[in-house]
Amino acid sequence: MNLENLRKVDSQVAEQIDLELKRQQENIELIASENFTSLAVMEACGSVLTNKYAEGKPHKRYYNGCEHIDVIEEIAQKRACELFGMEHANVQPHSGAQANMAVFMAVLKPGDKVLSMDLSNGGHLSHGSPVNFSGLYFDVAGYGINENGEIDYENVRKMALEHKPKLIICGASNYSKIIDFKKFREIADEAGALLLADIAHIAGLVAAGIHPSPAPYCDFVTTTTHKSLRGPRGGIIMCKEKYAKDIDKAVFPGLQGGPLEHIIAGKAVALLEAMQPEFKEYAKQIVKNAKALAQGLLDEGLDIVGGMTENHLMTLDLRKTGKTGKDMANVLERVGITANKNTVPNDPQSPFVTSGIRLGTPAVTTRGFKEEDMHKVAKIIASAIYSSDNENVLADLRKDSLELCKKHPLYS
């Protein structure tokens, strides 16, 4: 990567970027919420657009000189609507959490009732965690998953009729099954609630038609752009046209000032990439790789929450091994596999320790990993867990993971 000017100006920062590139190249990335953008996306994000202030909406800015910015942002809006089948898109949110926050601000008042997936069962902080704005300012009830790792839709229905929420959220940060948006719509209608789908994790799968779309059923759809969608770090809100003005007003001036137009350009590029036939094949491979990894772990005697994945991620349940998610995530990092600790349903450990590890396949699929590679990854993971105190075994496993990385080079 060309950092010629940066090296001259700030060698310390340049050095750390070089080291981070090396880390990404030499480690197997299994954090489900991470991916590798294309060089085209990075070029857009590192462009002169970072110089421009553009508060407001296209053609209704508070600053002059936005004629080219306007075109780029409108391209991103149009592509988002086309790709996801929605009527309106706001591409300005800096993150998925801020996208969710804008929906809350647009249609709720403090104290209003919300029904969403509980964080410990796979939900997201911005869906109602008591330490987050969503839980601090709104009255949130949380539904969970059953012993099969699936949403119990009848229980969601009972909770919706009991609590009468103004907003129901479907979507998760750690749920490995297909989400039935139609059932959620039926529940929302029966309870008289609005429906928000947060598809941050599965956006790439939805865009490719690998996962059912929420578009026909939901009033609002939020997503990040950097997970399975393979774009820059940021967020998008999509909605029915009748909510467009309220959503736009919630984003600006409600929550944000100047949008990051260089990142919006990167979003536009990623959305175009997601429209290509190759992206559908990529999304299919993400799921194939996830299933291969899950099966490989099961074959090694490990447990997966819900037994098998239907999308891009899974949670490794470590309870029967006597190991913790925190410790084993650190062990995996030593052998060249990056993952994150995660709670399992009814976890006896604290959220800072956990009994699980979340694993995902978007990033390795971007590198070109296939099913046979994922079986090897499963063996490395299992061996690292079972031999976590054996330095010789861990050293050999590090060599194995490095060989896989060399087989599938990144940004080379």
Q: Do residue 262 and residue 351 come from a single domain?
A: no
The predicted-structure confidence for 235-249, as pLDDT tens digits, reads as follows: 999 999 999 999 999
Domain that includes residue 352, residue range: 285-407
Mean pLDDT of 264-275: 98
Sequence-separated (6 or more) residues with CB below 8 Å from residue 158: none
Residue that terminates a domain, selected from 250, 274, 298 = 274
- 224 and 200 Cβ atoms separated by less than 8 Å: yes
Q: How confident is the model at residue 174 (pLDDT cuts 50, 70, 90)?
A: very high
How does the average pLDDT of the chain come out, rounded?
Answer: 96
What is the predicted pLDDT for the residue at 335? 98
Q: How confident is the model at residue 252 (pLDDT cuts 50, 70, 90)?
A: very high
- Does the residue 7 lie in any domain? no
Q: Do residue 96 and residue 225 come from a single domain?
A: yes
What is the predicted pLDDT for the residue at 119? 85
Q: Do residue 232 and residue 126 come from a single domain?
A: yes
Domain count for the chain: 2
Q: Do residue 302 and residue 262 come from a single domain?
A: no
- Does the residue 25 lie in any domain? no
User: Which of 262, 113, 70, 99 lies closest to 171 in space, CA to CA?
Assistant: 99
Mean pLDDT of 135-149: 91
- Does the residue 199 lie in any domain? yes
Residue 147 has pLDDT above 90, yes or no: no
pTM of the model: 0.95
Residue that terminates a domain, selected from 274, 296, 330 = 274
Q: How confident is the model at residue 345 (pLDDT cuts 50, 70, 90)?
A: confident
The predicted-structure confidence for 279-305, as pLDDT tens digits, reads as follows: 999 999 999 999 999 999 999 999 999
Q: How far is CA 245 from CA 59, 62, 390, in A?
A: 15, 17, 60
What is the predicted pLDDT for the residue at 346? 86
Residue that terminates a domain, selected from 242, 274, 306 = 274
Q: Do residue 354 and residue 254 come from a single domain?
A: no
* CATH value at residue 132: 3.40.640.10
- Does the residue 2 lie in any domain? no
Q: Do residue 292 and residue 389 come from a single domain?
A: yes
- What are the catalytic residues? 53, 55, 198, 224, 227, 233
Q: Do residue 53 and residue 201 come from a single domain?
A: yes
What is the predicted pLDDT for the residue at 192? 98
* CATH value at residue 326: 3.90.1150.10
Q: Do residue 99 and residue 194 come from a single domain?
A: yes
Q: How far is CA 13 from CA 16, 18, 20, 45, 238, in A?
A: 5, 9, 11, 18, 36
- Does the residue 21 lie in any domain? no
Token pair recorded at residue 388: 């976590």
What is the predicted pLDDT for the residue at 315? 96
Alpha helix ranges (H) inside 31-152: 39-45, 67-84, 96-107, 133-137
Q: Do residue 321 and residue 403 come from a single domain?
A: yes
Residue 176 has pLDDT above 90, yes or no: yes
- Does the residue 391 lie in any domain? yes
**Strand locations in 42-193 (E):** 56-57, 60-61, 88-90, 113-117, 139-143, 167-170
Q: Do residue 398 and residue 300 come from a single domain?
A: yes
Q: Do residue 110 and residue 181 come from a single domain?
A: yes
Q: How confident is the model at residue 148 (pLDDT cuts 50, 70, 90)?
A: confident
The predicted-structure confidence for 68-113, as pLDDT tens digits, reads as follows: 999 999 999 999 999 999 999 999 999 999 999 999 999 999 999 9
Q: Do residue 120 and residue 233 come from a single domain?
A: yes
CA 15 to chain centre: 28
- Does the residue 211 lie in any domain? yes
Please state which of the ranges 8-17, 130-139, 256-265, 324-333 shows the lowest mean pLDDT. Answer: 130-139
- Does the residue 37 lie in any domain? no
Burial of 27 by CB count in 10 Å (0-12 exposed, 13-18 middle, 19+ buried)? buried
The predicted-structure confidence for 352-396, as pLDDT tens digits, reads as follows: 999 999 999 999 999 999 999 999 999 999 999 999 999 999 999
Determine the longest span between alpha carbons in the chain, in angstroms: 63
Mean pLDDT of 113-123: 91
Burial of 206 by CB count in 10 Å (0-12 exposed, 13-18 middle, 19+ buried)? buried
The predicted-structure confidence for 151-162, as pLDDT tens digits, reads as follows: 999 999 999 999
Percent of the chain clearing pLDDT 70 (strictly above)? 100
